[in-house]
Structure formats: C-alpha cells, structure tokens
Amino acid sequence: MKNIVLLASGSGTNAENIIQYFADNELARVTAIYTNNPKAGVIDRARKHAIPCFQVTEAEMEDGSFIEKLQAKNTQLIVLAGFLKKIPLALIEAYPDRIVNIHPALLPDYGGKGMYGKHVHQAVVENEEEVSGITIHYVSEEYDEGEIIFQEEVEIDFEDTWQDVEYKVRQLEYKHYPEVIEYILKDL
C-alpha cells in the first residue's frame, strides 16, 4: 500500500474527491492532509473521512522539519489540492518527481504566481478564449512550470461566465486528477 499526503489551503473539494477515490483502492491511500490555513474547509472534510489533518507552517516547510514528518509517514507521493504556498526547493529535492499539482488552465497559459481559482477563470473569459482545461504537472521551483504529465481541455461558449468555466474545469479535475495520481503511483 502506497501512502499519499495531500496539501490543501482551501475548501478541499479536490482533496475529498481524491480521498473517496482511494478509499477502497488496494494500490494507495491518503494517510494525511496538511494545510497552511487554520480555517480551511479541508479540515472538516478530512475529519468527515477520518483522515488526520495537520497545520504546516512556512517555517516548517523551510527548515526541513516538514520533510521529516513526511518521511516518518512513509510518504510516496505528495499531492497538491489547492495548496497556495510555494513548495521549497529542499522538499522538491527530497521528493523528486513525487510532488504533483493540478492547475485550472492549459499551461503554460494562465500560470504563475497569483493565477489560481477564479483569477484564472476570469482571465480566460476576459480574453475570450475558446477552450480552457486542466494541467496536471510535477512541481518545480517556479509556479506552474514543472513537467506536464496530463492535460485535458473543455470548450468555452461565448456566453460563459467565469463561474461557468470554473464548473466545467472542476468536472475535469474531479474525473482526471485521481486517475492520473493512480497512474503515477503504479510506477513508484
């Protein structure tokens, strides 16, 4: 059984979807969730599924103590599910090609610092794009610049609001993120 640790900062809908996907999976399970936000909705979702949830500080991520916690949990894969802090180089080096993120756009477009959630969808609509989608990628030193693992697109209608685009993109996230995580785990 392989161990997945989730990092999340917000409501935790992707985290919950991943927890449910792996609940009866013989390959892997979610063993813990870490959040940098003490008011994050993901805390309640973790509690609902009896997944331990801990707060992680920026200092812990920088000083190496977080790496020790992950190693103590025998973590094979770290999955970002709406985690809004930059991952330090030491953690990337400790888990090479084993930290995965999902971005709500087709990278390299609409990526980088500050481009998350509704900010991405608003920019897509303002620029009158005809498609958007998701990108699942490995985490690197720079926001949204890691090696792309998977992309899927969705058409945008000219009358779509950013909320409509967000809904369409979330459906792609819920369908594909757990499947891609499972695919990655099979090779670890």
For 133-188, what is each residue's pLDDT tens digit? 999 999 999 999 999 999 999 999 999 999 999 999 999 999 999 999 999 999 88
* 57 within 8 A of 33, measured Cβ to Cβ: no
For 15-26, what is each residue's pLDDT tens digit? 999 999 999 999
CATH of the domain at 145: 3.40.50.170
The pLDDT of 2-8, averaged and rounded, is 98
Report helix, strand or coil for 94. helix
- Catalytic amino acids? 103
Count of other CB atoms within 10 angstroms of residue 185: 18
pLDDT band at 51 (very low <50, low <70, confident <90, very high): very high
How many domains, in total, are found in the chain?
1
Does residue 111 fall inside a structural domain? no
Does residue 118 fall inside a structural domain? no
Instruction: Calculate the alpha carbon distances from 135 to 8, 28, 68, 119 in Å.
Output: 17, 22, 29, 16
Does residue 72 fall inside a structural domain? yes
Does residue 43 fall inside a structural domain? yes
Does residue 29 fall inside a structural domain? yes
Domain that holds residue 181: 2-102+135-152+176-186
